[in-house]
Copies of this chain bind each other. A is one copy, B any other.
Amino acid sequence: MRATLLHQAGDVLVGNVADPKIQEPADAVVRIVLGCICGSDLWPYKSQPLTDTPRQMGHEFLGVVEETGPQVTGLKPGDVVVAPFTYADGTCEYCRRGLHTSCPHGGPWGVGGVDGGQGQATRVPYADGTLVKLPVGEDSELLPDLLTLSDVLCTGYHAARTAGVTRGESVTVIGDGAVGLSGVIAAKLLGAERIILMGRHTPRTDLGVDFGATDVVSARGEEGVAAVRELTGGHGTERVLECVGLKDALVQAAGVARDGGTISRVGAPQYPEVPFGFGEFMRNLTLTGGVAPARAYIEELMPHILNGGIHPGRVFDRTVALDEVAEGYRLMNDREALKVIVRP
């Protein structure tokens, strides 16, 4: 089959790989209907050294079950399913607590004999635990919205949930990428009254306003912090969603947080250390968040998509065919596209 392969930084190509097959009794094989490119795919796209064993890219997809192993009981061929961005057994203590990303049997797509999400198909380990059946056909107009359950909507929701957003509160969302915009959707779902979106790209922040942001602050750094403080009576907000992953964004997050407040980080950290020393200690700031256990949130969020309450698929502003995936990466890397669907 055809799949997206990263050979080295900037060199992403569609190539041939072995067709996925059932290897373990809990496996399924899924034909991919829609995949997409994640902001986190851009990190290896920018930095990967040349390798003889190119990685199969992509960790967000939905598709149709083609075949199931003998232990799979909850799914059958023909089912339309969405996958979270890591697979997990669904039965261990971590999975039962909703922390599927710490499942000892779980792992990422695209390595270790498991295919990536930007290709024609993939083997899915622990299919019963990993996949969630979608009550729509593979031609549904809701597919782009439902595809966000794979990662970006759940990641934004993880930020808002772990930050402790509750009804009536004020929230600052740092970052106007697809995760930040999903954070706006999530904060609104949880009842936040005021949602301040920090971002500099007007088309994106405009979408954020459509999603529920009540204020937009385009300034960054100290100037941005001052602007948020001015909007909030000098105090900052009790909840801050850090949806970037850079140290500067974390410093900004501390700056806009109210004393005693909580910062949730869901952007994969591109820093080894967090600048939380004596000052942040004296302010009783909490740092939470982490990689989102998307699987834990899919059933909870899906109804909001099915009933039309939210349209998170609006973060996709371009679609490319699988053979054009390199162009999709270029568009996102050059910020010409917000988030790109890959259609095999």
Contact = CB atoms under 8 A, between A and B. Distances in A.
A288 B265 CA distance: 14
A234 to B, nearest CB: 9
A125 to B, nearest CB: 19
A283 B290 contact: yes
B284 A277 contact: no
Contact of A94 (B260, B285, B287, B293): B260
A288 to B, nearest CB: 4
Interface string A78-102: 0000000000000001100101011
Interface in A88-131: 93-94, 97, 99, 101-102
Interface stretch (A145-153, A180-188, A268-276, A335-343): A268-276
**Residue with the greatest number of chain B CB neighbours at <10 A, chosen from A94, A162, A281, A289:** A281
A289 B288 CA distance: 12
Nearest to A263: B287
A18 interface: no
Given A275-B272, A276-B273, A286-B288, A281 B259 contact: no
Interface in A243-273: 259-260, 265, 268-269, 271-273
Contacts of A101: 282, 284
Contact of A290 (B162, B269, B285): B285
B272 A277 contact: yes
Given A259-B94, A274-B273, A281 B285 contact: no
A259 B102 contact: yes
A291 interface: yes
A99 B286 contact: no
A288 B276 CA distance: 10
A261 to B, nearest CB: 10
A273 B277 contact: yes
A35 to B, nearest CB: 23
Nearest to A93: B235
Contacts of A278: 268-269, 272
Interface string A165-181: 00000000000000000
B102 A260 contact: yes
Contacts of A93: 235
Given A260-B94, A275-B273, A276-B274, A162 B282 contact: no
Interface string A33-61: 00000000000000000000000000000
Contacts of A94: 259-260
5 contacts: A269-B281, A272-B278, A276-B276, A283-B290, A284-B289
Interface of A: 93-94, 97, 99, 101-102, 162, 235, 259-260, 265, 268-269, 271-278, 280-291, 293
